[in-house]
Amino acid sequence: SGTYGILEPHNNRLINKNKIDLLIVPIVAYDKNHNRLGYGGGYYDRYLKDYCGNVIGLAFNFQQVEKLPVEKFDLPIKIIIDEK
């Protein structure tokens, strides 16, 4: 168990984020402007602010809401794949 109690591999080798082609981020809820509500820690927003690769959110239709409150540090997800 590592930061925020997230299970992590026992590999101590760091990988430069510029070498990662795709990140799949968790979504609790999202809106039509592709703003996402995560789990409240801001971890993904901090990581993504200077990430240049592709980011995808996976969701179900029932997770879409009309509008989410957005803070200045919240970053929308370009691609959200749902069950439409």
Q: What is the CATH number of the domain that holds 61?
A: 3.40.50.10420
Question: pLDDT tens-digit profile of 43-54?
Answer: 888 888 899 999
Distance, CA of 75 to chain centre: 9
Could you tell me if residue 54 is inside a domain?
A: yes
Active-site residue among 13, 45, 50, 82? Answer: 45
Range of the domain at 64: 15-81
Could you tell me if residue 58 is inside a domain?
A: yes
Could you tell me if residue 55 is inside a domain?
A: yes
Output the pLDDT for position 20: 93
**Could you confirm whether 50 is annotated as catalytic?**
no
**Could you confirm whether 21 is annotated as catalytic?**
no
Q: Which amino acid is at 7?
A: L
The stretch 18-26 carries a mean pLDDT of 93
Q: What is the number of domains present in the chain?
A: 1
Output the pLDDT for position 77: 92
Question: pLDDT tens-digit profile of 37-83?
Answer: 988 778 888 888 899 999 999 999 999 999 999 888 888 999 999 98
Q: Where is pLDDT greater, at 3 or 21?
A: 21
Q: Which residue in 3, 31, 68 sits closest to 57, CA to CA?
A: 31
Active-site residue among 13, 46, 50, 74? Answer: 74
Active-site residue among 13, 21, 31, 36? Answer: 36
Could you tell me if residue 48 is inside a domain?
A: yes
The stretch 8-26 carries a mean pLDDT of 87
**Could you confirm whether 82 is annotated as catalytic?**
no
Could you tell me if residue 24 is inside a domain?
A: yes
